[in-house]
């Protein structure tokens, strides 16, 4: 399931050259991921109330082109892999017109208790597991 998150680039997110500083793309991915999870019914607050955290294990970014102040960007967010213990989220950041790809990337996550001990959602939280599992399914045409 693809999720589309749209936002405008702010002036403070750019560097001396007038382009978005590379570190801000990671923030954009996190904004999109949090909004996506909220949209499909699993906001971080609900997971945390149930003792679940989702730390980031790694971030991979391939910078293709630069965004600048005032650009409206689209962050396409999608589940690439989900096992019940780990999850990989993919991202593609483009301009609103779809003419330029600014970035492709992914974040890897695991599910843990508040004590940061790994947990298996399939075994311990089947209702949450079903929701995450459904993100891998392609919508019927």
pLDDT tens digits, 37-81: 999 999 999 999 999 999 999 999 999 999 999 999 999 999 999
Q: What's the CA gap between 109 and 22, in Å, rounded?
A: 21
CA dihedral 46, 52, 58, 59 (to 10 degrees): 0
Residue with tokens 């570190």: 23
Whole-number percent of the chain with pLDDT over 90: 91
Q: Is 53 helix (H, G, I), strand (E, B) or coil?
A: strand
Q: Where are the domains of the chain?
A: 3-134
Q: What pairs with residue 60 in β-bridges? A: 106
On the question of pLDDT at 125 being above 70, the answer is: yes
**Residues above pLDDT 70, as percent of the chain:** 97
What pTM does this model have? 0.92
- For domain 3-134, give the CATH superfamily: Hotdog Thioesterase (3.10.129.10)
């Amino acid at each position: 399931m693809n999720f589309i998150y749209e936002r405008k680039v702010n002036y403070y997110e750019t560097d001396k050259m007038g382009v978005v500083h590379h570190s801000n793309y990671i923030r954009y991915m996190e904004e999109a991921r949090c909004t996506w999870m909220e949209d499909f019914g699993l906001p971080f607050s609900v997971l945390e109330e149930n003792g679940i955290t989702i730390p980031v294990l790694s971030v991979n970014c391939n910078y293709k082109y630069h965004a600048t102040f005032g650009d409206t960007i689209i962050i396409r967010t999608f589940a690439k892999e989900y096992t019940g213990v780990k999850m990989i989220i993919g991202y593609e950041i483009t301009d609103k017109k779809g003419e330029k790809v600014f970035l492709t990337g992914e974040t890897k996550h695991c599910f843990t208790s508040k004590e940061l001990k790994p947990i298996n959602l399939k075994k311990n939280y089947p209702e949450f597991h079903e929701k995450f599992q459904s993100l891998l399914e392609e919508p019927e045409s």
